[in-house]
Homo-oligomer: A and B are copies of this chain.
């Protein structure tokens, strides 16, 4: 027997309709590529998103047609988020940090029909447009009078001209909530990138779970700054969650340096910010150098990579900002866990609370997780056993676009599919996840697993170390042994032997790296993560200087 409640689909347009009706005058502030601050309201955004929908209708773009973006966090990008998905098309956010050839490959694979780009990325578009035959229209996210002349790009139009011709009246259509709303390519370690295809249902459920008090705790009293880019996993869903709760939204554009981000937080009264560790590192450096303090920032979510303990300490102890450590990935929309305390933790001493906060936290309601050993057997939640992390839930991927990689899911005894994350983790008795490594980065030494993240965190706690990457190199007896690759801070010195000695008492003897390799800089990938694959290639054939 069915219940007798209304059949109202969970659609992205319902987020916009809600914020327009109930929080129409809440602000959206954007740092533009031009450098100035643009300021308008959610009601203005909704009106222009409807114009986007009309422009796509006028062009005859079909339901599920792909509209790509190459853009920073800004109000026009936000209008595309809602106008494209709300009207039933698929928003395809491209990562501009990829090489133009890679972007072109992805555009062709996605069969994008419209591509909208910030003028920053004009050179990339000029380099690739000729090899993107599916794209019918190129839209520069600028005013009509700033449209670059003689760009050589056919059918190029300015965004303002494109939507300006359209009326703001439009009724968001109703359709199946399982329809695709957006896609994001993820660069696997091997082969071509694969696309995750989000649905309206998955996006709305994720936005709601992410706003809960035990997750990002978002309300109509917040001013939200997504430093995480809207071109990668939808800025952790913040453009959706902010609309759901009616928060003020502050979008930093291309100005991602520490000084600009700090100033934006202060001038706009930001209460909540989200970013990857590398961005916060530069901001904290700027603050320390200039003896600055926050006036309004209350909490920050840090994810994307494991956050160094020293950074969590700096935010909490020096600046009084709550740090919410998170774990997620493109295939999980992206949020899987967030670290907030339980009732029973509130009476613990500060130090024990701090130890819990170093973990990536508890599963959001909706996300199931488990860890399994190499034979697929489920491992205990004891905070010690480390295994491959598998997840399941309504905002977890079940397959990639066009069936790339076949069926990625691992069935359980009830034949329900689990997504293997490629992360290695422990889970403690209270359900707190701690990522110990990527499964491809873990170092397998004589049958034991060494967490590259643990070894890196020790190096990072040395005052002379700016960045550190631990990789495994071939060893005839142990299979693999860890080597730590280190970039020193400018003007700082530390020798190989000093650094190896620094590990004494901080790691078990067999976990201490066999060698240190000093480099000028550690290569970073397009989402800001360290490229260990590159490092491993550079170290192929590396001879350990001393046998253990």
B343 and A248 form a contact (CB under 8 A): yes
Complex alpha-carbon distance, A196 and B4, angstroms: 7
A342 and B7 form a contact (CB under 8 A): no
Known: A1-B64, A220-B342. 10 other contacts (CB 8 A): A2-B178, A4-B401, A5-B333, A6-B393, A8-B394, A208-B212, A208-B365, A211-B212, A212-B212, A213-B245
B417 and A6 form a contact (CB under 8 A): yes
B197 and A4 form a contact (CB under 8 A): yes
Give the number of times this chain occurs in the complex, counting copies. 2
Complex alpha-carbon distance, A344 and B27, angstroms: 10
Say which residue of B18, B346, B366 sits within 8 Å of A365 (CB atoms): B18
Complex alpha-carbon distance, A501 and B178, angstroms: 62
Say which residue of B3, B218, B394 sits within 8 Å of A202 (CB atoms): B3
- Taking CB atoms, residues of chain B closer than 8 Å to A25 are 344, 430
Interface of A with B (CB < 8 Å)? 1-8, 10, 14-15, 17-18, 21-23, 25-26, 63-64, 90, 171, 174, 176, 178-181, 196-202, 208-209, 211-214, 217-223, 244-248, 333, 340-344, 346, 362-363, 365-366, 368, 392-401, 414, 416-417, 419, 430-431
A219 and B209 form a contact (CB under 8 A): no
State whether A343 and B179 are in contact (beta carbons under 8 Å apart), knowing that A4-B401, A417-B6 are contacts in the complex.
no
Say which residue of B5, B219, B363, B401 sits within 8 Å of A340 (CB atoms): B219
B212 and A220 form a contact (CB under 8 A): no
B365 and A200 form a contact (CB under 8 A): no
Nearest chain B CB to A364 CB, angstrom units: 9
Complex alpha-carbon distance, A342 and B392, angstroms: 35
Q: Chain B residue with minimal CB distance to A214?
A: B219
- Taking CB atoms, residues of chain B closer than 8 Å to A180 are 1-4
Complex alpha-carbon distance, A416 and B11, angstroms: 15
A5 and B396 form a contact (CB under 8 A): yes
- Taking CB atoms, residues of chain B closer than 8 Å to A219 are 212-214, 340
Nearest chain B CB to A196 CB, angstrom units: 7
Complex alpha-carbon distance, A201 and B430, angstroms: 27
Q: Chain B residue with minimal CB distance to A247?
A: B343
- Taking CB atoms, residues of chain B closer than 8 Å to A343 are 26, 220-223, 247-248
- Taking CB atoms, residues of chain B closer than 8 Å to A198 are 3, 5
B245 and A365 form a contact (CB under 8 A): yes
Nearest chain B CB to A152 CB, angstrom units: 32
Nearest chain B CB to A396 CB, angstrom units: 5
The contact sample of 19 A-B pairs, CB cut-off 8 A, is A4-B180, A4-B400, A4-B401, A5-B202, A5-B395, A5-B397, A5-B398, A6-B392, A6-B393, A6-B395, A8-B394, A17-B368, A22-B362, A26-B342, A26-B344, A208-B208, A213-B245, A220-B343, A245-B365
> Which of A4, A214, A419: most chain B Cβ within 10 A?
A4
A23 and B179 form a contact (CB under 8 A): no
Complex alpha-carbon distance, A214 and B213, angstroms: 10
Complex alpha-carbon distance, A367 and B396, angstroms: 26
A212 and B7 form a contact (CB under 8 A): no
Say which residue of B90, B202, B340, B368 sits within 8 Å of A1 (CB atoms): B90
- Taking CB atoms, residues of chain B closer than 8 Å to A218 are 213
> Which of A8, A17, A220, A247: most chain B Cβ within 10 A?
A8
Say which residue of B10, B17, B18, B217 sits within 8 Å of A394 (CB atoms): B10
Complex alpha-carbon distance, A171 and B23, angstroms: 43
Complex alpha-carbon distance, A322 and B431, angstroms: 31
B397 and A4 form a contact (CB under 8 A): yes
Closest 9 CB pairs of A and B: A3-B199, A1-B64, A213-B219, A22-B431, A5-B202, A4-B197, A8-B394, A3-B180, A220-B342
Nearest chain B CB to A39 CB, angstrom units: 15
B397 and A8 form a contact (CB under 8 A): no
Complex alpha-carbon distance, A25 and B344, angstroms: 10
